[in-house]
Structure 1
C-alpha cells in the first residue's frame, strides 16, 4: 500500500465519515469540513469546492454555505456512505426484494428469497439468496447506491434474479403472452415494471404484480 493511499484511509476517509453524518443530522462541524478540505487539497483533490472552503476565513463562512460546500466536497471526492452511514438504503433493498418475491411463483419458484450484506467485498455490497440457500449473483452484486431509489432497487433485484434463473435453467422468464417475447425490468415514469418491446413497447405489469397477468407457474 502506498503512503498516499495509507494516509487517505487513515485521515481523509475518517473525516468524510464524520462530515457525512453531520450533514444528515444537521450537526455539521465547520472545523471538520476545513480539515477535510485541507487534506484533500494536500492529495491534489483541489476542486472548486475544496478551494472555496480552504481559502476564506472559516469564521466568516455562513453555515448554509458550509453545508453546501461540504456536500460538494463529498461529491467531488466520490464519497459513498455505504449501508452503515445510510441505513435507509438497506431497508429500501429489503422492501424491494419483498416486492420482487411476489413475482417468483409465476416462475414456479417457492419460498422467500433473502438479501445479505457482504462485509468482506470491496466495495461493500449486497447479495441475494433463494430460499434454498443458493446465491443468485448473475450480473454481479447489488451496490449500496442501488437503495437510493425504490424503483431502481426493485428493477436491479428483479434483473439479478431473472438473469440468475436464466443462467440456471436456460428458460426465458417472464414472457409477454401477447407477443411471446421475453420482458425485462425497467423504470418507467418512476415505477419498476416488466417491459415488453412488442408493438413499440408496453408495460406487461408492475414488478411484483406478474401473477395478475401470468398466474402461478409450476414448481421448478
Structure 2
C-alpha cells in the first residue's frame, strides 16, 4: 500500500469514527456525514444513502433524517466500533470473563484473568491475560462485534480460552468424565455450555459451572 492510499484510508477511518461518535453522543455534525459520503463515493460506494447525502443540501435535511442517513453510511462503510468507542461491548466481555474464570481452577489455573485492549488493531480488539502474565490469543484478538450479545460473548470467549490452552499445552480441557471425550464451548437454547458429543450430545455443565462437575485441580 502506498503512502497516499494509507493516508486516504486513515482519513476515512477518522471520518467514520467522528460520525459514529456524533450519533452516539447526539451531536452529529452534518458536514461530517457529507464528508464521509464523499469519501465513500470516491471509493465507488454508490449506495442510495451516499448519493442522497452528496446530492442534498445538508442545511435542508432535518436532524433526525440526517442521523438515519449517517447510520446507513456507517453500514455502507462496514464500520464496526471497537471496544474503545463502544465501552458497553467491553463491559459485556469483562462480565463474560468473570464467568469463564470460575472454570479455570478445574484446569489448575488460579488467579483472576484480565481483558486487555489491543490498540494496534482496527477496530480496537481485546485479548485475555492470565494472572501469571500468559496471553491467551488463539485465533487473533477478540472481535468487538461478538460482544453485542452476552451469550455470544460468553460462548466465544470460552472457545478462545479453551483453544488457546490446547495450542499451548496439547492437553484437552475440559473432558467429560462419563465419556472420556473432550468437550467444547457451544450455545444451546440461548445458554453458553460445555457440550459433549457422547451419546448423541449432552451438556456437561454451563460455562462457569465446571467446578460442580469436575472439581478443582491443584496443579497446572
Same fold (TM over 0.5): yes
SS at match of 2:31: helix
The match for 2:29 is 29
Once the two structures are TM-superposed, the CA of residue 163 in structure 1 deviates from its matched residue by: 1.4
Report matched runs for 1:84-123 at 5 Å.
84-121=84-121, 123=123
The match for 2:6 is 5
Deviation string 1:95-142 (CA, Å, 9 cap, x unpaired) is 111110000111121111122112234553222122111112222221
The match for 2:210 is 210
Runs (5+) with no aligned partner, structure 1: none
Q: Is the 8 A contact 2:83 2:90 kept in 1?
A: yes
The match for 2:168 is 168
CA distance in 2, matches of 1:62, 1:167: 54
CA 1:98–1:46 in structure 2 vs 1: closer, same or farther (change >3 Å)? same
TM-score between both structures, scaled by the size of structure 2: 0.89
The CA RMSD measured in Å over matched residues stands at 2.0
CA distance in 2, matches of 1:66, 1:166: 49
CA distance in 1, matches of 2:212, 2:30: 54
Deviation string 1:9-57 (CA, Å, 9 cap, x unpaired) is 13x2222111101222222232321221122212322222211222233
Report matched runs for 1:50-199 at 5 Å.
50-121=50-121, 123-199=123-199
Once the two structures are TM-superposed, the CA of residue 155 in structure 1 deviates from its matched residue by: 1.7
Once the two structures are TM-superposed, the CA of residue 158 in structure 1 deviates from its matched residue by: 1.4
CA 1:62–1:200 in structure 2 vs 1: closer, same or farther (change >3 Å)? farther
Once the two structures are TM-superposed, the CA of residue 185 in structure 1 deviates from its matched residue by: 0.8
SS at match of 2:27: coil
TM-score between both structures, scaled by the size of structure 1: 0.89
CA distance in 1, matches of 2:122, 2:39: 23
CA 1:55–1:156 in structure 2 vs 1: closer, same or farther (change >3 Å)? same
CA 1:22–1:123 in structure 2 vs 1: closer, same or farther (change >3 Å)? closer
